[in-house]
Every structure is written in structure tokens, then in C-alpha cells.
Amino acid sequence: MGNHIFLAHNFGAVPKEYTDEKKSKVIIFPVPYEATTTYKTGTKEGPNAIINASKNMELYDEELSCSPFEVGIHTLQELESDISHPSKTIEHVTNVAMPYVKNDKFVILLGGEHSLSYGMVKAYKEKYPKLSVLQIDAHADLRESYQGSEWSHACAMRKVSELCPVVHVGIRSISEEEAEYIKDKKLKIFYAKDLSGTDWIKDVVKSLSNDVYITIDLDGLDPSIMPAVGTPEPGGLNWYQILELLKTLCGKKNVVGADFVELSPIPGFVAPDFLVGKLVYKLIGYRFEKDCKKI
């Protein structure tokens, strides 16, 4: 008993008065699902690591001269995974996200593996028929199936592309099967080796429809700043490249929701966890800059 102060387990350790579920514009949706990882495991630990790291952020954004959390950030409890079949958890993701999407909430899923994105895109596609998806990733994830499953993380964007168009950014690892599929379907791919300067950012934004969902597989970032992923690939985006892309996109399009997936925390090394927490918060700031009180 006594006058004790307890730190809430919510994204950013946001003050309670800014976490009301109905009033908050942003919903943080942690899904610690891991079933089809193929190299380094641990993505199920990602959501909790991101939320824990985010509690140590400054909530004032010096770039935007405001505190984005004031638009309200409500953190949901972790979704219990159904490991009987990947499609079950993905279906649960859709069912949980759908009511928030219908109520114009900006839902951010924290994964967990990339297969979860399909569940989120399906929920948003219901509300936004002309939805397009921006994928930031080292891998195209366009296999028809992998290790006997069409729901593998390696097939995530193949499934999503059945729902709506996808623009792929940061790609630097594809299979022969995917190369043939990309050529056959004339997909819009921005390979990592071509991302010099800033003109590519304008081209990416132009390639998307007005309503955009963002999926960020964290191995899309260079492993020098993001080593905590299951399948790292050299040569990815740096911190300021991804910030400029997100800022430009939010200024030009209606960004409706997002996910951050495939963080596989490294015990005792918190920098990657903090990077993701900060990146999530930067996206919230860019998306709701017009609603933030400037200082």
C-alpha cells in the first residue's frame, strides 16, 4: 500500500490520460506470433521488446516541434497466437483489427513474423477498396509456397498482392521463382542497389494509390543498424532514408495503418529494439503532424 507510482506497460509509457481506447487516434497491436521462421528465431519476442524499449524514448519530437503522443496512443494486450495453423492467427488479426479500422483508428501491428501482414491488409481493404501497400523489405516474399506452406513469411507479399497492389522497396534477395514472377507480373520493385539520392522516394510515392498501408520487415534496414532480424541481408536502407520516405509519403498520401515485423531481439543488445520503437513513434508523428500542438 502507499503512494506508489507504477509504470504502465504501454507503448511509450504514454501518460494514462492519453491512452483512452475510444479517444486515441492510434492503436498499438502486439502479436507475438512465430511459426514459419527459417533462420534465426525469436520474432515472438519482438513486440514486447519494442514496447519495453519505447518506454525510454523522449516523447517530444524535436524535428516536428511537438509531442505526437498527444493524439492518443492506446496499446492492446498481446494477441494469443493459434499455432494449429498460420491462417488461424492471421484470421484473428483481421477480426481484432477490423472494428478499429472501421472507427478510423490508425492501427500499428507489432510482430511477430511477416505473414501477419495479410490479416491487417485484409481488414483495411474492406474499408479502402483502392488500397495499395508499401513494403519495405530485404526480401520480395513473393514465393507461392515455402517449406510446404503458402502462409510462410516468405510468401507474405504474394498473399497480400492477391488483395491489392504492392510497391516493394529495399529488395536485395530473391529466388529464381520470384524473379520470374516479378517479370511476368511487371511488379514495381525498387531494388536497394538503386536507392541513391532522393529521386527514388518521389517515384515510390507516385507508384502508390491515395490510400496506403505500410508494412516494414525490419530486415529492409541495413544490418549495421538493424542486426536483430532472422534473415539479415547487407546493403539495406539507413535511418535517414527510411525517415525521409515515411515523411514524404505521409505528406502526400493517406497512410491508413502499418506493421513492423520480424524483429528478433538480441539478448543484452537493446539498440535495435529502441530503433524500432523510435521508428514507430516517428511514423505516428509524420502521420498526425497536423493534429499535434506545435511548441
Q: Which pLDDT belongs to residue 100?
A: 98
Give the whole-angstrom CA distance, residue 258 versus residue 243: 14
Instruction: Evaluate if residue 4 carries a pLDDT over 60.
Output: no
Cβ contact 34:41 at 8 Å: yes
Q: CA neighbours within 13 Å on the CB side: how many for 179?
A: 5
Is 3.40.800.10 the CATH classification of the domain at 26-291?
Answer: yes
Confidence grade of residue 1 (pLDDT, cut at 50, 70, 90)? very low
Torsion of CA 19, 21, 27, 31, to 10 degrees: 100
Q: Classify 151 as helix, strand or coil.
A: coil
Domain segments of the chain as ranges: 26-291
Q: Which pLDDT belongs to residue 9?
A: 80
Q: Which pLDDT belongs to residue 131?
A: 98
Please state the rounded mean pLDDT for residues 214-238.
97
Give the whole-angstrom CA distance, residue 71 versus residue 67: 9
Instruction: Evaluate if residue 84 carries a pLDDT over 90.
Output: no
Look at residues 141, 131, 121, 224 and name the one whose alpha carbon lies nearest to residue 181.
141
Question: In terms of DSSP bridges, do strands 166-171 and 26-31 run parallel, antiparallel, or are they unpaired?
Answer: unpaired
Give the whole-angstrom CA distance, residue 112 versus residue 217: 10
Confidence grade of residue 88 (pLDDT, cut at 50, 70, 90)? confident
pLDDT in tens, 192-201: 999 999 999 9
pLDDT in tens, 26-71: 999 999 987 655 555 678 999 999 999 999 999 999 999 999 999 9
Cell of 233: 541481408
Q: Which pLDDT belongs to residue 243?
A: 98
Interacting residues of 240 by C-beta distance below 8 A, sequence separation 6+:
none
Please state the rounded mean pLDDT for residues 155-180.
95
Q: Which pLDDT belongs to residue 147?
A: 56
Q: Which pLDDT belongs to residue 36?
A: 58
Confidence grade of residue 86 (pLDDT, cut at 50, 70, 90)? confident
Cell of 156: 507474405
Give the whole-angstrom CA distance, residue 226 versus residue 238: 9
Please state the rounded mean pLDDT for residues 252-266.
97
Question: 251 versus 87: which is more confidently predicted?
Answer: 251
Burial 215-241 (b: 16+ CB within 10 A, else e): bbbbbbbbbeebbbbbbbbeebbeeeb
pLDDT in tens, 10-28: 999 999 999 999 999 999 9
Look at residues 163, 143, 282, 266 and name the one whose alpha carbon lies nearest to residue 216.
282
pLDDT in tens, 95-139: 999 999 999 999 999 998 889 999 999 999 999 999 999 999 999
